[in-house]
Amino acid sequence: QSALTQPASVSGSPGQSITFSCTGTSSDVGGYDYVSWYQQHPGKAPKLIIYDVSNRPSGVSNRFFGSKSGNTASLTISGLQAEDEAEYYCSSYRSGSTYVFGTGTKVTVL
């Protein structure tokens, strides 16, 4: 079961906006609106920050924005802050009753 494709790393300065992608196929990202995003700090459990493509759970900053076009989902972080430095994983339901995560993107705040 191949993972969704994400860029290995993205960086930005404090206050800037960054956007990175999550590419799948019509069997996962493109076929369902069940894309979610997770933030993981080193040594910690993942934290849900976006679900169902663009919805934010209660308590998650509105600086996080999710979207999707075709087989590619994207996460935008606006007003980048030091605390945003972490690993980010996308995920999607995949046909055949399985679930798949992305390869992960390390966000560095310069």
Partner 1 sequence: EVQVLESGGGLVQPGGSLRLSCAASGFTFTNYAMTWVRQAPGKGLEWVSGFNGNYGTTHYADSVKGRFTISRDTFNNTLYLQLNSLRAEDTAVYYCAKRTGDSKRAAMDVWGLGTMVTVSS
| Of 17-25, 35-43, 67-75, 77-85: span binding partner 1 (CB under 8 A) | 35-43
Is residue 82 helix, strand or coil? helix
The count of other CB atoms within 10 Å of the CB of residue 61 is 13
The CA distance from 6 to 8, in Å, is 6
* Contact positions with partner 1 (CB under 8 A) in 72-91: 89, 91
Residue 93 in contact with partner 1, rule: CB under 8 A: yes
Shortest distance (Å) from residue 10 CB to partner 1:
16
For the record, the structure tokens of 20 come out as 């990175």
Shortest distance (Å) from residue 7 CB to partner 1:
13
Residue 98 in contact with partner 1, rule: CB under 8 A: yes
Return the bridge partners of 91, or none: 36, 101
Torsion of CA 56, 61, 63, 69, to 10 degrees: -10
Residue 65 in contact with partner 1, rule: CB under 8 A: no
Residues that bind partner 1 (CB under 8 A): 1, 3, 32, 34, 36, 38, 40, 45-48, 51-52, 57, 89, 91, 93, 97-104
